[in-house]
Amino acid sequence: MINKEQIIKLEDELVKAIQSSDIVTLNKLLHPDLLFILPGGQTITKEMDLASHRSGTMIVEELNPTIEQINLIDSTAVVIVVYDTKGKMQGTPIQGKFRYIRIWSSINGDLKVIGGSCIQL
């Protein structure tokens, strides 16, 4: 059974991996069939996300999270987190607060992000 402490630890690990473009950790935490919706409505996959980190088109200068809510449903966790963000995506500056919903699921005993979405506040 999963618990909130596990999810908080994984969210922290994910933030650190995003900030440092740690491909190994991101690969471990993101499910191969991940689907994520960006604020502009585009859908991205795990491979698209990893590619943006590999190529350097994703530059994170600041990423300060505040977890608002964690709901545990069987082997799934639904997390609402707000990020105070500053960086660049494909040369376009990104700055402000963004609210994310992220879904973690236990897959063969490992928790993985399987989906999510974010909006700018």
CATH 3.90.950.20, domain 4-120, yes or no = no
Look at residue 17 in the predicted model and tell me its pLDDT. Answer: 96
Q: List the chain domain ranges.
A: 4-120
The answer to whether the beta carbons of residues 91 and 62 sit under 8 Å apart is: no
Residue type, 4: K
21: part of which helix (H) or strand (E)?
none
39: part of which helix (H) or strand (E)?
none
Percent of the chain with pLDDT over 70: 99
For residue 108, the Cα-to-chain-centroid distance in whole angstroms is 20
- CA–CA separation, 1 vs 67, rounded Å? 21
Per-residue pLDDT reduced to its tens digit, 40-84: 899 999 999 999 999 988 889 999 999 999 999 999 999 999 999
Instruction: Take residue 116 and report the two structure tokens written for it.
Output: 């999510």
